[in-house]
Amino acid sequence: MTINKEAFVDLQEKYQKVVKLLLEDSKTDPENEPYLSKYSARQILIGMKANIENLLRNHTSEDKENLKLTAMYGTVYMYLGLVAIDTEELSTGEKHLTKCKEIVEKYVDYPEMVIIALNMYNQFGILWSQNEPEKSKTYLETAQQLYANYKKTGKAPIDISELFEPNIETFNESIALKNFERIHTLTLYYLAQIFSKLNEDFKSAVYCHITLQRQLEMEDYDPIDWALNSATLSQFFMEKCGFKQARHHLAASSFILNKYKVEQLDTQNEQTEAFESKMETFKHRSADVARCWVKYGIFLLGKSKERLLAHTENIDEHCSMVSDLSLMKISEDTNVTVEDLQNLSFRGIDVSQYENEITDQFILQLSDAKKVFLKTVAYIKAAHDYYTLDSLASDYIEIVLDHSHLYLNLLFFEDDQDNQTKLHKRRIDLLEQVLNSVNSQYYMNYCRQIWYELGQCYSDIIDIKSEKLRESKERPKPQVLAKINLLVEKCINHYKSFLTSFKVNIEEREKVLDDVEKPFLQAYFHVAALFGRYITLDKNYQLRNVEQQYEHYKFIVDYCDKHTKAQELIPMELIICKEMVVLLPVKISRLKDPVH
């Protein structure tokens, strides 16, 4: 029996309502009813299911019309599964998808069914992604294989939307092919997430790159999201010392952002609310990409420093570290091939302009380190154009801390002591400016980090000044000694600010939280040592300083006796503390009674 056209028209109208509810209306659902549109779509789908079941009962012949109805039936169950998963009804979602699978599995290589099947396998992948990632991977890899097999047939698929057209003979091949490729891109994207959950990080990164490449080729991407995803991926490559790949993905991010600005923002003449919103998003995400460039510069200098420290002689002969992942020795557990790592650059865009601005090679000397430093500082300024102290204080502080670490990494390449001191002072200026500008109660975690870093800065300057003093053959001038004492005092004050922020009962040796216990004890150790660095001939001052040393060393020993696990955190420092607790009382006794 031939089905009348009105039945298909009715199903088409209902399908279009479902798509509108899921893709458009759901974005504006009220906060107190976040699934309003999805529940409405579900009701329409349930009605469609009943209509199609009725049509199938009255149409038993195996013809094109029956295949079309079966495909529509599978589509309804696929959408019911999707809605159930989106509304967190996972067991219901599984039932609907399983029913969809039963309907379509023997027809998966038919043009009418292949896109439904790919969507279904993707939804299964999403369904199991949280609790059973291995199961999720199996479904997604099935989708991947189905795509590859169907692609080999050379047949054009039929898009789901056109299944609901009353006249299927007039389907649009280009739309179907585009959606077919888009769904496969989603499969690859979901696989990237699953590989990450399964701790197959390299494979996840490779799939992320392939996803981004496909989006570029299909011109099917949001420029802001694409740039952010590419920049995020760069951070993984960077942490694996793949500076060539990290720089390339950051350069691609900057390229896409600039292209978006030129083509879509600079051409706008009217300052509408929509345009202002786009411009705000662009500035925000451009600042985020700049921050990723900052991390790149810091990490490149830091890894170059580690490499030089590990290989003091004949570094080119003995060092196996490489800055290009395609030259890396691959361990078996990475689950990627050399070919995978050789194909981590984007085709179709030229990003050399951005790549040429900063090296991807390990740094060997100060002149090259300065180039990386200056370019990274430019990115810090770009990030601070958006993240200001007044509007986004936490981000602003984090960027300042990055700036401080950048100085610290540059310091390694600087041999001149006077220049080292200048760099430390610039770090100090940056960090103290933050302390003077924020309320430590609101930004306590950041302030603690800054107090600790400032203690380290001042301590390093004291080391430099003291070394110059030892090397000098001249009698030290009083102002030089006074300067060192002032530095010691500032250093102690910053460490003490760090220590007192924990509000620990010192007399009771009260336990500090585990995550801050080690830096807490180390700061105590630094303060103890610093009291011994004051330069004075006054016996009373000397006595006061030695007594302070003793109290701080004894606190650490007593604390570790009371909280024995803390001994594992500072084994070397604890040995020194125990020695000093024995030696210092003798020194105190002599200072009190110099005759004996």
Decide if 126 is inside a domain: yes
* Residue range of the domain that includes 573: 515-596
How many CB atoms are closer than 10 A to CB 449?
A: 18
CA 71 to chain centre: 41
Amino acid 230: pLDDT: 98
How many CB atoms are closer than 10 A to CB 471?
A: 8
Tell me the torsion sign for CA atoms 357, 361, 363, 365.
negative
60 with 18, same domain: the answer is: yes
Residues 6 or more apart whose Cβ sits within 8 Å of residue 371: 358, 359
Number of domains the chain contains = 4
User: Where among 371, 390, 415 does a domain terminate?
Assistant: 415
Q: Angle between the 514-530 and 539-562 helix axes, to the nearest 10 degrees?
A: 160
Amino acid 244: pLDDT: 96
32 with 131, same domain: the answer is: yes
Residue the block writes with tokens 């990290």: 246
438 with 470, same domain: the answer is: yes
How many CB atoms are closer than 10 A to CB 356?
A: 10
453 with 495, same domain: the answer is: yes
Decide if 211 is inside a domain: no
Residue the block writes with tokens 């479902």: 18
User: Where among 460, 475, 501 does a domain terminate?
Assistant: 501
22 with 128, same domain: the answer is: yes
* Per-residue burial over 544-553, b = 16 or more CB atoms within 10 Å of its CB, e = otherwise: ebbbbbbebb
163 with 232, same domain: the answer is: no
Decide if 208 is inside a domain: no
In 3D space, the residue among 139, 144, 119, 120 whose CA is nearest the CA of residue 129 turns out to be 139
CATH number at residue 86: 1.25.40
Decide if 333 is inside a domain: yes
Amino acid 503: pLDDT: 83
Q: Angle between the 539-562 and 571-592 helix axes, to the nearest 10 degrees?
A: 140
User: Where among 453, 469, 501 does a domain terminate?
Assistant: 501
Which of the residues in the chain have pLDDT under 70? 1-3, 59-63, 167-171, 312-320, 332-333, 594-596
In 3D space, the residue among 361, 360, 358 whose CA is nearest the CA of residue 375 turns out to be 358
In 3D space, the residue among 128, 67, 120, 76 whose CA is nearest the CA of residue 98 turns out to be 120
Decide if 381 is inside a domain: yes
* Per-residue burial over 71-91, b = 16 or more CB atoms within 10 Å of its CB, e = otherwise: bbbbbbbbbbbbbbbbeebbe
Cβ-defined contacts of 196-200 (< 8 Å, 24+): 197/129, 197/133, 198/133, 198/134, 198/137, 200/334, 200/335
In the structure encoding, which two tokens stand for residue 470, read together?
């030892």
How many CB atoms are closer than 10 A to CB 232?
A: 15
334 burial type by CB count under 10 A (0-12 exposed, 13-18 middle, 19+ buried):
middle
pTM for the predicted model, two decimal places: 0.90
189 with 43, same domain: the answer is: yes
337 with 278, same domain: the answer is: yes
Decide if 376 is inside a domain: yes
Decide if 509 is inside a domain: no
Residues 6 or more apart whose Cβ sits within 8 Å of residue 178: 218, 220
Decide if 507 is inside a domain: no
Q: What is the pLDDT of residues 211-247, one digit of tens each?
A: 999 999 999 999 999 999 999 999 999 999 999 999 9
Spatial separation of the C-alpha atoms in residues 79 and 49, rounded to whole Å: 11
155 with 238, same domain: the answer is: no
404 with 459, same domain: the answer is: no
CB-hemisphere CA count at 13 Å for 586?
A: 5
Residues 6 or more apart whose Cβ sits within 8 Å of residue 287: 382, 383, 385, 386, 387
181 with 225, same domain: the answer is: no
Residue the block writes with tokens 């809605």: 83
106 with 188, same domain: the answer is: yes
